[in-house]
Every structure is written in structure tokens, then in C-alpha cells.
Amino acid sequence: MPASESSPRTSPGASPGLTAEGVSKRFGTVQALEDVTISFPPGQVTALMGENGAGKSTLLRVLTGDHRPTEGRVLLDGKPVDLHYPQDARRAGIRIIPQEPEIIPHVSVAENVYAGSLPRAAGRRLDRAELRRRINADLERLGFAKVLDPNLLGSQLTAAQRQLVEILRALTGEVPPRAIAFDEPTSSLSEFEVEALFALIGRLRDEGIAVVYVSHRMKEIFRLADRIAVLRDGRVAGVVEAAATDESALVRLMVGRDLSTLFVRQQVATDRVVLDVKNLTTDDVRDINLQVRAGEVVALAGLIGAGRSEFALALAGDAQVRSGSVELGGKALRLKNPRAAITAGIGLAPEERKAQALFLHRTIRDNTSLVSLGRLRRWRFVKHQQERALAQQFADRLRVRAPSIEAEVRTLSGGNQQKVVLARWLARKPDLLILDEPTRGVDIGAKAEIYQIIADLAREGTAVLIISSELPEVLGLADRIVVMQNGRTTGELTRAEASEEAILALAMADDLAPADAPDDRATAHAPTGDPR
């Protein structure tokens, strides 16, 4: 078949850049996109916003050939592109940097970057010299030479470095990129690494590439974007110039609601210490001292890889404690496994909700009741009525949007999935609830609801420990902020003392200090060391 279909109405406006024209996409009975027409002009950053489920990912997948649209077409510089496979998009110069990087663990960075088009010497042998020359040239050209060692194996990379590999993949290749889509690129990066990414995006724009930028983070959007396209329920809710709008206008476009209610929280902390950690040391964290009181919300801040999630897992009984002690409500705990932690009264909503918390093919009811089954059973039989009542109660309280509590969790949007994880722990009523990135990948409406849930929990006397990489969230929620770096705590800030600058200063304390240690982590953008 010829590469392009000749259409009777070829390029009405002949607008340059990448354009979705009248794109609709249906999955079964669900209309994911309806008559979406958006153009992404070259040399501009167009942000794509919308609540989860608004159709952003589906649109990206249509643009990159991963989904075929039910109706409509994709144009590049006014000419329709025939997208049957993702490779077609790649060949046309359309690239995507997915939210979760796909990295081959056992081969080097260089081979990961050029996977599929490795340089060949005679007889299909891998041309290692050429590979090295190419990766070094590309790293140099793109300004990553200092942060990414091309000889590292895929499995040794940090989250930020994995993202870099995806970016390198997008920017290299025989056909130069014409349009690049970033799907929430900063969700696994810390503030510091984000800077490097933004610099790169700025350069891409200046080179005349059409940049599509999907994110929930207002601050980033206003820093980067020239234009902002908002999707709502699969339709275009509006396309605005970034300079001509503000946050609350965007939120209204997205949800028809105001942002001002996002952080409503008065301090309700008591004097009763619930969690008392003394000199806790595991394989990943050292000498952690931390107290959380009843009704108090404590946030753990720090860069990615600072050991916050590892500390949370240790408290949840999923890491080996080398030394130190953990007391809960005055009782010393032996955290030998997650069961012991749960029994003692510790709940953890982990970082990766799909991988670590949810059973996607089970119902909301089943996912909610799982850790409460102990008190929902007679003999070993689950009391169905009580289980239903419990699940319904918390689904209502957290406003989980689903046809019923018998809906499978995989059919829910990210925010509602997160609410199901929260419902599981709220139903169990732990004394200490640890929330690791509770709003990652959650749309703004659900975010506000989750903040409200956290505030309610504190008012009921639960001790809450939050890990978040979003500084506004940390500042808005926490009574007290503990900053970690490299597996240690580097400082503590009260609500009054806290500011983004103060947190960042503590989070990067080691790197800012005079070189008192042999410093192989000088490249703070992405800690290249520590390939455990």
C-alpha cells in the first residue's frame, strides 16, 4: 500500500507541526476521545492537561501510532501520516517519552538507546567501536555526558537515568525528531533533576521541534508551555495561550471547580507520641530518628533515591532492620515482616500503587477488605454482608467513582485506584499511616479529595507520615517536615520554618557542603553511583 492515503480534503489549513484532526477513539462502549482537533505547532511547547481519564494518554497513543483512531486522522505538517504501528510514527519523526521507561536490564545504556538499530560491522556483528563513538557523540551533543555513563547496565540506572535513556532514544535515530511528546516526565524525577530536563525541552523548542508536554503540575506548565490544551471527558475543553491564563482558570477548564480549597487544614497534633524511631538502620537507611504524634502529619522530603521509600518499607516490615528500634504507642516492635507491622497498627500505601498495592483484576470490595478480613470472618468464612457494608462505607466516604463496589479495580482511573488503596487502610484504622507519593499521577480533583482525607485522618488522631516529591504538597500538608538525603535525615523544619528553598537546601546538604568526602556523587543531577 502506498505510504499516504490521498484524501479529498488534504490539509485545509496546512498548519505546520503535528495535528490531530477530528480524532475519536472508542473502546467498546466507552468513548475515550470524541472529535478532538488539536495542533501542536513546531518551535512551541504545547501542554496537554486534563483530569485522569480525560483522554490525554489515549490521545498520545493515537498520535504515536499505538492506537488507531476510530475516526479522524493525524497530520504532520499538513500531510496525513499513516500510523499502523509505533514504528511508523518513529519513522515519521514523531516520538514519545513514556511515563514508565522501558529499559532492558541486562544490557548497557548504549545498547538500550540504540536497541533495534544497533550499528553493525560485517556479518551482522555488533560494531562496538561505532556504538561507543555514537553514544559519546550523542551524549555530548545533548548535554548528558556528565550524568549518564553509557557503560552502566539498564538494571543499575536510577529512575532519572532511565528517563534519560528514553529521551536519548527519542532524540536519536535516522529520522530526526519533528514532534516529541513527554508523558508526565517529572513524576519520577526530583525537583533538582527536573531542571536538567527543562533546559533540554527549551533547547528542543528552539530547534523547531513541536513539543507535547503532559503534566498535572501547574508550576511546570506555566514555566514551560507556550500554549495549553485542556481535555475533559475526551473532548477539547479549550486551548489557551499560557501567558493569557492562570492556574484557577485552568482548573476551572479541567474540572469546573476552584483550586483555592486544595489545602484546608488546621493543626490538630497532640502530644501523644505514636511512632518513635531511634537510630534505625537498614541496608538502605542509616541512623534514622523520627517521632510522629497522634494527629500530626509529618512529611519526608528529599530527592529521589534519598531513602524515603526504603525507610517507609522498613517501617512496614518489608526490610531487614540492622539496628535501632521502632516503638509504636510505647511498645517496642519487632518488624520481621509486613504482617507484624500491620498487626502492630502500621499501614503503608506504597509508592507504586499498581505494582505494590492493588489487585487489578479483583473488585473494589475485595481490594478494600483485604487487610481487614481478620475481623470480618467467622471460622474462616468471610461475612459477606459485613464485608460489603465496610467496602461500601469507605467507597462512599472517599467518593470512589465506580459503577459499584463490584467493579474491577483495573477499570478505575488513577485517582480512584489510589482512593481504593486508602480505603483499604482507613477500613483497618491503623495508628500510623504511611502514604508514599499519595497523589502521584492523580488528577487535581482527586488530589483535593485525598488532601481532605489526610486532614480528616489527622483530626481523628491518626499519625500520618507522608512521602512526597511535590514540594507545594509537602508545604501545604505537613505540620513538620523531615528531610532525608542519601539514607540519612539531614534536618527537620516546622511548618513555620519550611519553604521550598529550605527543604531543597537540606535535601542537597551533602552536595552543597565543602568537599569533605571523596566525592563521586558530585553529579547531583543523577546519582550515577550506587549500583547495588
Partner 1 sequence: MTTTTAPSAQLPEAEPAAGRRGGVRALLAAVGGQNLSLIGALAVVLVLFGSLNENFLSWDNIQVIAEAATISGLLAVVQTVVIICGGLDISVGSQAGLASVVSAMVFTSTGANPYLGIGAAVAIGAGIGLFNGAIIIYGRVNPTIATLAGLAAYKGVAQLVSGGRAQGYVLNDPVFIFLSRGKIAGLPTMVWLLVLTAVAVHLLLTYTDIGRNIYAIGGNDAAARLAGINLNKYLVSAYALSGMVAALAGILLTARTGSGQPVSGSEGLELQSITAAALGGCALKGGKGTIGGTLLAVALLGALQNGLTVQGINAFWQNVAQGALLVAAVVIQQRRNGERAVGLPA
How many Å apart are CA 441 and CA 134, to the nearest integer? Answer: 35
Q: Which is nearer to partner 1, 32 or 303 (CB)?
A: 32
382 forms part of the interface with partner 1 (CB under 8 A): yes
Q: How far is the CB of 40 from partner 1 (least distance, A)?
A: 17
Crossing angle (nearest 10°) for helices 159-171 and 128-142:
100
Cα angle 151, 155, 159 (rounded to 5 degrees) comes to 100
User: What residues have CB less than 8 Å from 483, skipping those under 6 apart?
Assistant: 300, 301, 302, 489, 490, 491, 492, 493, 503, 506, 507, 509
CB count, 10 Å around CB of 152? Answer: 18
371 forms part of the interface with partner 1 (CB under 8 A): yes
Within 256-275, the residues that bind partner 1 by CB under 8 A are none
Question: In the set 16, 98, 150, 177, which binds partner 1 (CB under 8 A)?
Answer: 98
Q: How far is the CB of 2 from partner 1 (least distance, A)?
A: 26
Q: Which is nearer to partner 1, 18 or 33 (CB)?
A: 33
Q: How far is the CB of 403 from partner 1 (least distance, A)?
A: 5
**Listed residue (187, 180, 183, 169) closest to 202, CA to CA:** 180
Question: In the set 130, 233, 247, 431, which binds partner 1 (CB under 8 A)?
Answer: 233
Question: In the set 14, 30, 104, 332, which binds partner 1 (CB under 8 A)?
Answer: 30
Q: Which is nearer to partner 1, 205 or 428 (CB)?
A: 428
Q: What is the amino acid identity at position 185?
A: P
**CB burial string 296-331: b at 16+ within 10 A, e below:** bbbbbbbbbbbbbbbbbbbbbbbbebeebebbbbee
Q: Which is nearer to partner 1, 49 or 259 (CB)?
A: 49
Terminal Cα distance for the chain, rounded: 50
Q: How far is the CB of 55 from partner 1 (least distance, A)?
A: 8
Q: What is the DSSP string of 320-366?
A: ---EEEEEETTEE---SSHHHHHHHTEEEE-S-HHHHT--TTSBHHH
Inter-residue contact 374 to 365 (CB < 8 Å) = no
Chain centroid to CA 222: how far?
Answer: 19
How buried is residue 273: exposed, middle or buried, by Cβ count under 10 Å (0-12/13-18/19+)? middle
Q: Which is nearer to partner 1, 242 or 376 (CB)?
A: 376
29 forms part of the interface with partner 1 (CB under 8 A): yes
Cell triple for residue 238?
479549550
How many Å apart are CA 180 and CA 165, to the nearest integer? Answer: 15
356 forms part of the interface with partner 1 (CB under 8 A): yes
Inter-residue contact 422 to 398 (CB < 8 Å) = yes
For partner 1, which stretch binds (CB under 8 A), given 39-47, 123-131, 294-302, 408-416? Answer: 408-416
Question: In the set 73, 91, 354, 429, which binds partner 1 (CB under 8 A)?
Answer: 354
Q: Which is nearer to partner 1, 66 or 130 (CB)?
A: 66
53 forms part of the interface with partner 1 (CB under 8 A): yes
How many Å apart are CA 200 and CA 204, to the nearest integer? Answer: 6
For partner 1, which stretch binds (CB under 8 A), given 13-21, 35-43, 243-251, 368-376? Answer: 368-376
Cell 555513563 appears where?
149
Q: How far is the CB of 344 from partner 1 (least distance, A)?
A: 11
**Three-state secondary-structure class, residue 393:** helix
343 forms part of the interface with partner 1 (CB under 8 A): yes
Size of the site for partner 1 (CB under 8 A): 66
How many Å apart are CA 118 and CA 108, to the nearest integer? Answer: 12
104 forms part of the interface with partner 1 (CB under 8 A): no
Question: In the set 11, 15, 70, 99, which binds partner 1 (CB under 8 A)?
Answer: 99
Q: Which is nearer to partner 1, 16 or 415 (CB)?
A: 415
170 forms part of the interface with partner 1 (CB under 8 A): no
For partner 1, which stretch binds (CB under 8 A), given 5-13, 28-36, 126-134, 142-150? Answer: 28-36
284 forms part of the interface with partner 1 (CB under 8 A): no
- Give backbone dihedrals phi and psi of 18, rounded to 5 degrees, phi first: -100, 130
184 forms part of the interface with partner 1 (CB under 8 A): yes
Q: Which is nearer to partner 1, 147 or 357 (CB)?
A: 357
386 forms part of the interface with partner 1 (CB under 8 A): no
Q: What is the DSSP string of 7-31?
A: -TT--SS--SSEEEEEEEEEETTEE
How many Å apart are CA 402 and CA 382, to the nearest integer? Answer: 23
Q: How far is the CB of 27 from partner 1 (least distance, A)?
A: 6
166 forms part of the interface with partner 1 (CB under 8 A): no
374 forms part of the interface with partner 1 (CB under 8 A): yes
Please give the residue ranges that form the binding site for partner 1 (CB under 8 A).
27-30, 32, 52-54, 56-58, 67, 98-100, 183-184, 214, 233-234, 316, 318, 337-339, 341-343, 348, 350, 354-362, 366, 369-371, 373-374, 376-377, 379-382, 384, 401-404, 406-407, 410-414, 416, 424, 441
